[in-house]
Structure 1
Amino acid sequence: MAKKRVNVVTMGCSKNLVDSEVLLNQLERGKFEVLHDSNETGFDAVFVNTCGFIHDAKEESINMILDYAEAKKRGEIEKLYVMGCLSERYQNDLEKELPEVDKYFGKFDMKAMVDELKVTYQSEFIYERKITTPSHFAYLKISEGCNRSCSFCAIPKMTGRHKSRSIDSLVKEARYLAKKGVKELLLIAQDLSYYGIDLYGKGQLAELINQISEVDGIEWIRLHYLYPTKFPMEILPIMRENPKVCKYLDMPLQHIANPVLKNMLRHVTREETEALIAKIKEEVPGVVIRTTMLVGFPGETEEDFEELKEFIQETKFERLGVFSYSKEEGTYAGDKFKDELLDDEKQDRADELMEIQQYISAELNQQKIGQQFDVIIDRKESDYFVGRTEFDSPEVDGEVFVTTDDELKIGTIVKVKITGAEDYDLYGDLV
């Protein structure tokens, strides 16, 4: 008798991806054939893991659900399920608008999803996942939820308050991933800065990093999403001294003009932000900071935007992403402030920032020509092996295109001399 087949389709962020990987592992243990983001048909069930972050992401999730609803009508799949953030936030509305879906599950309904397919939920294996990334890197979600009150963000309404996982459970998962061949761990959460306070009465991110770095097989540890407010300064000596911790910091700042920061409820000023950046660079020489900016927030004046542009030009962030503000119902900003800028105006501001960043990135990349870097090889593409330095996170940052006559094994870390540079990507020869 052929195994029943399940496809899990992941929309949104890496935190959603981890949830999908946990579900895939549970179902595979239940003797299902499982696939991820497959374009095939003939599935007994499809789970769409949705994103509810901003308007565009929600629209993309809805369109994916509609596509699979049509596939169900054509008899190409048997059951359609929806899970994740959008389902957590809008389940009642979705049930009315999209009755074609067999069942909706919230973000934390893992057991119910497994039970729905008549599979025994195995909590003792919840730390195990079916890795969907290239096997040499994986995301490690260290907490759920968020205690911040940023006025533009609806995520706490979907994920609840911050809930750290224990250090022991995370080290156990890191060991499991290392045995699977993972060399690079990307620590993720809605807010890494808050890790441990709810469990241990004080921040424990530094202790967690230290313990994970002792896991055999893990060679790179990368930190994503640290808030500037109450930043855990104790991690800086570890980043400086521990060779396994990448000198890479993902710290979303959102803005720099004090009036905008105040209305965003970020609880930080420009002066405090600049002092923090200076301290980080002083404590960790050579550190690369990735940040995210939000433009078009209600009340953002031309003067505020000009201040943001000047700040980016002066600071020269190595990595930068930009979002346009979208009104989210139920948020403080959505309820209190009038969204005055047109979408085209917001997009123009976002484009202007990214144009500035493109020049900064190109300038910084040119300075790397002639230097040597450790590069982890992600894939083979045409005549190149393609990888990343410790200063580049997968999917969001630049890559290094490596020329060599040797056959490199995917996942190995090699020494590369940079010979050329584009705006975001680098070219180099194997040393």
Structure 2
Amino acid sequence: MQVEKKERINLISLGCSKNLVDSELLMGQLLANDYEVVCDDENLNADTLIVNTCGFIGDAKEESVNTILQCIEAKKRGMTKQVFVMGCMTEKYKDEMLKELPEVDAFFGKFQGKDIVTRLGKNYKQDILGIRMLTTPSHYAYLKISEGCDRKCSFCAIPSMTGKHTSKTIEALVQEAELLAQKGVKELLVIAQDLSSYGLDIYGKQSLADLLEELVRIDGIEWIKLHYAYPTAFPYDILPLMAKHEKICNYLDIALQHSSDNMLKMMRRGITLEKTERLIERIREEVPGIAIRTTLMVGHPGETEKDFENLMNFVRKMRFERMGAFAYSNEEGTYAYDKYEDIIPSQVKMQRLDELMELQEQIAEEIANSFVGKHLKVIIDKEDKNYFVGRTEYDSPEVDPEVFIKKEKSINVGEFYTVKITSANAFELFGRLV
């Protein structure tokens, strides 16, 4: 008896980890409807191609458009029957995309996964809500605890794409985390556009600490990392929990964007340099040894040489364990786009960005070298030709340094090991099993 070949759907997920969770949830629905489902941006042979776009800044939009064009070309060459486009970019630019990209078979917004399943002629299954097809290695997964954002930052288009801040219930998140643990997930990467506001909309108070108290009880979960706290109205009640529970890693991702009072006001961040410094000092005081990751911006309208020098001095003083930065992108639908002139030349923006990251590289290398000779707990993410590659509790996937361990002993991907660090640079640690 000949087995009927399943239709193949390739869902290409672009942008942030929050987008990835949306993709994984949709892929779970497609699997449940008996499709063969892959997530592969290189092999475009599939019955249906779905692109989950990002529309955050110019570079992300360019990547999304280029990927859509590649899918259209694959359709012309007979590699696929149809192309669907979804996500943040279509949420914001759907009318323009309909005109410019008529070869796309259908456009869907960020929250229209159900409509995609229906368009394919299948039933959206309510009884599997929260069940995902993981695209990450099986030992870690992202847990998105809320959607949207109520903040009014001048430069950010995300609220116009994702809407108001909406929290998931603690009960639903615990259930999702338990399902992930049953699949073998050991590390939960807790994410939201604004962790600090979690729970305000449904519980009337900041509830991240309440959620963490429940997550640490889940068997099988060994590491919990927190991503994208907001500095204004920071939930200080999470700090004693971080210090108390080994499962909650000494790691916090908190985007600060700038340090100059002038820029913080123009960016509508609701905080000052003095309050920012007190916040960082308190976090480090209450959670000794914590690694703080932040993101900073250069080139926002109104940024003077004095503002930039203030930012450089701030980075020298704070010595962030992890830091990323990007140049301001003038995005439609933002306060800055309507109210300010984007007159700082691109060359100046990139020069400032290079200076800032060069400074951070020096700091990161000094911090990395402080680990040489120490024993660290490491989770193994992958194996390459010469090394096993893992991360410490101070590092998240894709964005932070990795630990390279020579293949001297048998090591299993997805397991924890104690590693002695033997050498380091700004972006990598090298070690051997203890």
Matched, 1:209 2:209: no
Matched, 1:408 2:394: no
Q: SS where residue 312 of structure 1 aligns?
A: helix
Deviation at 1:273, TM superposition (A): 0.3
Q: Matched residues in 1 for 2:178 and 2:80: separation?
A: 37
1:21-420 correspondence to structure 2 within 5 Å: 21-420=24-423
Equivalent AA in structure 1 for residue 85 of structure 2: V
- Deviation per CA, 1:279-313: give whole Å up to 9, x if none: 10110000110000010000100000001001101
TM-score by length of 2: 0.98
Q: Matched residues in 2 for 1:39 and 1:297: separation?
A: 35
Question: Is the contact between residue 253 and residue 291 of structure 1 (CA under 8 Å) also seen in structure 2?
Answer: yes
Structure 1, unmatched stretches of 5+, are none
- Deviation per CA, 1:176-198: give whole Å up to 9, x if none: 10011100000001000000010
- Deviation per CA, 1:131-181: give whole Å up to 9, x if none: 000010000000000010001001000000000000000000001100111
Deviation at 1:424, TM superposition (A): 1.6
Q: Matched residues in 1 for 2:62 and 2:221: separation?
A: 37
Deviation at 1:38, TM superposition (A): 4.5
Equivalent AA in structure 1 for residue 37 of structure 2: V
Q: Matched residues in 2 for 1:59 and 1:85: separation?
A: 13
Equivalent AA in structure 2 for residue 79 of structure 1: Q
Q: SS where residue 150 of structure 2 aligns?
A: coil
Question: Is the contact between residue 256 and residue 295 of structure 2 (CA under 8 Å) also seen in structure 1?
Answer: yes
Equivalent AA in structure 2 for residue 96 of structure 1: K
Q: Matched residues in 1 for 2:406 and 2:44: separation?
A: 39
Deviation at 1:41, TM superposition (A): 3.9
Q: Matched residues in 1 for 2:407 and 2:337: separation?
A: 53
Percent sequence identity is 55
Q: SS where residue 148 of structure 1 aligns?
A: coil
Deviation at 1:404, TM superposition (A): 4.7
Q: SS where residue 81 of structure 2 aligns?
A: strand
Question: Is the contact between residue 72 and residue 79 of structure 1 (CA under 8 Å) also seen in structure 2?
Answer: yes
Question: Is the contact between residue 10 and residue 49 of structure 1 (CA under 8 Å) also seen in structure 2?
Answer: yes
TM-score by length of 1: 0.99
Question: Is the contact between residue 10 and residue 44 of structure 2 (CA under 8 Å) also seen in structure 1?
Answer: no
List 4+ stretches of structure 1 deviating above 6 A: none
- Deviation per CA, 1:303-341: give whole Å up to 9, x if none: 000010011011110100001001011211111101111
Give the equivalent residue in structure 1 for 2:12: 9
Q: SS where residue 382 of structure 1 aligns?
A: coil
